[in-house]
Amino acid sequence: MRIAIVTDAWAPQVNGVVRTLTAVRAELEAMGHAVLIVSPDRFASMPCPTYPEIRLAFARRSTVGAMLAEFGADAVHLATEGPLCLAARGWCLARRQTFTTAYHTQFPDYVSARTGIPAEWIWRYIRWFHAPAAAILTSTPSIRATLAAHGLHHAAHWGRGVDLAAFHPGVAPHPALLHLPRPIQLCVGRVAVEKNIAAFLESGHPGTRIVVGDGPARAGLEARFPDAIFMGALFGQALAGAYAAADVLVFPSRTDTFGLVMIEAMACGTPVAAYPVAGPIDVLTPDVGAMDADLDAAIAAALTCDRAACADHAAGFTWAASARQFLAGLVPAAIARAA
């Protein structure tokens, strides 16, 4: 199959969307499929206000459409709701080309957190954007329920995976964390307002609080919480080592649709503490983590979880399975086009 994926999020950005698309593309190509990525690096662009790492592409519908037509896509997938995917959406609708979309991000909540605009206003755009899609690919049952509650009932499951070669119980702990006061409480992710990292840093459980990641809120949080350790962004073995050294991963976000860092941490044997919201409620079980409206209570409970059980649970999330689910979502669209 020839699969075109249009996305406004792509390297060098570091986020769950990019990591998911990169991993799934590799799996699809290993299966023998041809994959075209239409991303902002192909166009002139400008930084997104309040999120400069994201580039907003200046892309005409005709230009994006020409790329899709030349590729001869059997299936077109729109991964985001930004200008590139808007251009591709318009071209597909004009050509009566079926397409699928994905709901990777709680976009209304993100925009509301950054701008103060009521989330329901943004939901009007989300409904308009996704309504014509053959299917909306979503990562969890709770997100499918959220979409249905806003009038979007044509969601299909597309789960996530973890690189078990990189993240596993045998990873050596990061040496910088070995001699810190325990329990070591780790938070991994973009350091931005929508990730709610301040809630983690305000928690009162004894031990050491560590933040791995970078972003616009980092300087302010470092100034407010001088006792916390900010390590910046880590990748590969260094990131896996941070997970392995931690006693608990604290996931304070209330706006993620999944949370890849949770399964990466568990793959290294580290339990997760989180709020009982979309993402954690779909991924965690009492054996591998704890959820509570009181984050301190969740941390205390998660610290009692068995590390071997965490690793076993995470091993059920593979990128190969994710790629097969992605294909299953695309196939009805491809069939509809052929008909």
d(CA 138, CA 223) in angstroms, rounded, equals 37
Q: Residue 336 — pLDDT band, cuts 50, 70, 90?
A: low
Same domain assignment for residues 39 and 93: yes
Does 189 map to a domain?
A: yes
Does 106 map to a domain?
A: yes
Kind and range of the H or E element at 289? strand 289-291
Question: What confidence score (pLDDT) does residue 61 get?
Answer: 92
Same domain assignment for residues 53 and 182: no
pLDDT tens digit string along 128-167? 999 999 999 999 999 999 999 999 999 999 999 999 999 9
Same domain assignment for residues 272 and 181: yes
Percent of the chain whose pLDDT exceeds 70:
95
Q: Residue 44 — pLDDT band, cuts 50, 70, 90?
A: confident
| 223 residue type, one letter | A
Same domain assignment for residues 281 and 326: no
Q: Which whole number is the average pLDDT over 161-181?
A: 97
Higher-pLDDT residue of 247, 9: 247
Question: What confidence score (pLDDT) does residue 143 get?
Answer: 93
The total of other beta-carbon atoms located within 10 Å of residue 230's CB is 18
Same domain assignment for residues 27 and 41: yes
Question: What confidence score (pLDDT) does residue 51 get?
Answer: 67
Does 170 map to a domain?
A: no
Question: What confidence score (pLDDT) does residue 46 get?
Answer: 73
Same domain assignment for residues 35 and 72: yes
d(CA 56, CA 52) in angstroms, rounded, equals 9
State the average pLDDT for the chain. 93
Does 169 map to a domain?
A: no
Same domain assignment for residues 119 and 6: yes
Question: What confidence score (pLDDT) does residue 43 get?
Answer: 84
Same domain assignment for residues 310 and 323: no
Same domain assignment for residues 145 and 248: no
Q: For residue 102, is pLDDT > 70?
A: yes
- Lowest mean pLDDT, pick from 62-71, 106-115, 199-208: 106-115
Residue 246 contacts residue 178 (beta carbons within 8 Å): no
Retrieve residue 213's tokens. 């990641």
Same domain assignment for residues 42 and 62: yes
Question: What confidence score (pLDDT) does residue 305 get?
Answer: 98
Nearest to 5 by CA among 70, 102, 97: 102
Label residues 82-119 b or e (16+ Cβ within 10 Å = b): bbbbbbbbebbeeeebbbbbbbbbbbbbbbbbeeeeeb
Does 290 map to a domain?
A: yes
- Cα of 44 vs its chain's centroid, Å: 25
Does 302 map to a domain?
A: yes
Higher-pLDDT residue of 12, 298: 298
Q: Tell me how many domains the chain contains.
A: 2
What contacts 1, CB < 8 A, 6 or more positions away? Answer: 33, 34, 74, 75, 327, 330, 334
pTM: predicted TM-score of the whole model, two decimal places: 0.92
pLDDT tens digit string along 209-226? 999 999 999 999 999 999
Collapsed DSSP state (helix, strand, coil) of residue 254: coil
Same domain assignment for residues 152 and 216: no
Domain with residue 214: its CATH number is 3.40.50.2000
Retrieve residue 251's tokens. 């996931």
- Lowest mean pLDDT, pick from 12-21, 198-207, 249-258, 320-329: 12-21
Q: For residue 33, is pLDDT > 90?
A: yes
Q: Residue 58 — pLDDT band, cuts 50, 70, 90?
A: confident
Q: Which whole number is the average pLDDT over 260-285?
A: 97
Does 166 map to a domain?
A: no
Same domain assignment for residues 204 and 102: no
What range defines the domain where residue 132 resides? 2-161+319-338
Does 22 map to a domain?
A: yes
Please report the DSSP string for 29-88 in residue order: HHTT-EEEEE-GGGS-EEEETTEEEEEEE---HHHHHHHHHHHT-SEEEE-SSSHHHHHH
